[in-house]
Structures are given as structure tokens and as C-alpha cells.
Structure 1
Amino acid sequence: MFWLIASTIAAAFMAVTMIFVRLKAAKKPASVKKILLPPLFMSTGALMFVFPPFQVSLLQVIEAMSVGVVFSFFLIKSSKFEIRGNAIYLIPSKSFIFILFGLLVVRIVLKLYLGKTISLGETSGMFFLLAFGMILSWRIAMLYKFKKLENQLNTKNAL
């Protein structure tokens, strides 16, 4: 029970941190580096799978990543860019906060439900994969949107 409460508090802290990071990022121009670094940094967490308690089956990997991709649609829809001057900025979405906390609540409910039948290590591994699948697909979509605007900006500047 302690680990469930501790991990829930940690997830809530990360969600609040994400909100502040996102609001701060909207004040500076976006870049490919700023879009791609978060999933790259997060990927180091996959080292948990070296340890047997965290290892999951291929079916569990597919399930967790699939749910993450589905969850990412909400983040993708709330992520928009705009050209200001000669730079591209991420537009802060008013719905982002609600989406992030909504996804957090769904993840907690799923964790409580799955925690009854799956070990703590496997649950941790699956929720890491869910979050990674969500962030990776969200960031790939952001990169696509960014590159589209970057091409528009380059075409405009070339004229």
C-alpha cells in the first residue's frame, strides 16, 4: 500500500511539473532538440527491464505501448504551434492541464485495478511503457507539426 501511495504522489508531482515546464516552454521558441530530448532522456528508464522483477511479456509490452499511444491522442490534439516573427512557438493550451490530470486519474485507476493481479514490478514496467508510448508518439506528432511549420517559415523567408 505504501508503494501505491508513494507512486501516486510521484505521478501527481510529475504532472504538476509538466504543467509548469510546458507553460515556461511556451515563452521560448520551440526547436527539434526541445521536442526530441524528453523521450530520449526518458528512454534511460528502460534499464529497469534488466532486473527480473520488472520484466514483462511481449503481450504486456504491446498492451502498455498501445494504451500509451491512445492516451497520446489527447496530448497531440492539445499541442499546437504558431509562427511568431521568425520563430515557431508552442501555443499553451487551456485544456492541457485538464488532459494531463485526467490521464493521471485514468492511470491511477488502471494501476489500482491491475495491481491486484500483476506484481508491483510488472505493473511498474507496464506503466513505464505506457508513459513512454504516450510521450514518444506525442513528441513524434509534435515534431511533424513543427517541421511542417518550419518548412512554411523557410519558404516564406526564401521569398
Structure 2
Amino acid sequence: MIFIALSAIFIRMKAANRPITKRKIIIPPLGMSTGFMMFIVPQTHIPFLWAIVAFLVGWFLFAYPLIKSTKFEKRDGQIYVSSSKSFMFILLGLLTVRLLLHEFIQNYITVVQTGALFFVLAFGMLLHWRLYMLRHYNETFGVKESTMSS
């Protein structure tokens, strides 16, 4: 699991070298949303309140450092996510906190339910971060909100 997480961090760092588009901002949460199909399987069921708390923890706590470290810049007529020296450390810190929480929570619920809970947390984090990115991208480089509703 640590290898996969570190691989994801490495891929994310390399993505900073490629231009960003609205499509590249929107696709990750859409793709991740298919993971909610796991809840068809009864073993993954968790209390609804737990799911809400996990989502809100992801939305408010885990997304915050990502939002604060995400900036855009225009280079050669294209838009890039600015390289942030702190971004890798933020991702490693979030991974560490997540692993510690995972080990603690896994003692009280099944491994499958723990996975479901952390999926909901990760989705809340990713959705908030990507919505922020989309809004910031539109305000800075694209369509303003007032013209989007027209």
C-alpha cells in the first residue's frame, strides 16, 4: 500500500510538468466516484453518520493543505500547476496521517469497512480540492462565474 501511495505521489509530481485543462481538473473526481459502487457489497456498509464525518474530515481537514499549496501559472500560452516545494511534503504528511488513522480505526471495524471509510474521506478531499482548482482556473484564466450562468 505504501508503494502504491508513493507511486501516486511521484505521478502527481510529474503531472506538474504538463499543462492543466478543465478536463484534467474534472476527470479525477468523476473517475473516483465510480468507487461508490463498492457500497453495493454488504460488507462495505458503514453507518451513514460515519460516512458524513469521513467526507467532512476529507473536505475540511485533508483538502486544506492541498488547496493552500495549489497555484497556477501561465507559461508559453499554457496553464500549469505551479511547482510547490512543500507539495511533496504535504502529500507525504497526509499519507502518514492517513496510515496512522487507518491502523487505529482498523482495530474497531473490519478491514473492508475501514477501506470504505477512507475512500469516502479521500473522495471528500479530492472533490473539494478539484472544485477549488476549477473555480480558481475559471476565475484566473477562463470564464468568470457571472458569465457561466448565462
Common topology (TM > 0.5): yes
Aligned equivalents of 1:75, 1:61: Cα separation in 2: 21
SS in 1 for 2:142: helix
Question: Unaligned stretches of 5+ in structure 2?
Answer: 144-150
Structure 1 segments of 4 or more deviating over 4 A? none
Name whichever of 89-98 and 18-27 sits farther off.
18-27
89, 109, 132: which one aligns with 2:100: 109
Matched residues, number: 142
- Of the three residues 13, 19, 22, the one matched with 2:12 is 22
Q: What is the match of residue 31 of structure 1? A: 21
1:13 is displaced (CA, Å) by 2.7
TM-score where L is the length of structure 1 = 0.83
Percent of paired sites with the same residue: 45
Matched with 1:91 is 82
Tell me what 1:75 maps to: 66
- When the two chains are superposed, the root-mean-square deviation of aligned CA atoms in Å is 1.5
Amino acid paired to 1:26? A
Q: Secondary structure at the match of 1:106?
A: helix
The one-letter code matched in structure 2 to 1:42 is M
Among candidates 120, 123, 126, match of residue 114 of structure 2: 123
Residues 21-60 of structure 1 correspond to what in structure 2 (within 5 A)? 21-60=11-50
* Alignment partners' CA distance in 2, 1:116 and 1:21: 31
Structure 1 residue ranges without an equivalent (≥5) = 1-9, 153-159
Deviation at 1:15, TM superposition (A): 3.0
Report the Cα offset of residue 98 of structure 1. Answer: 0.7
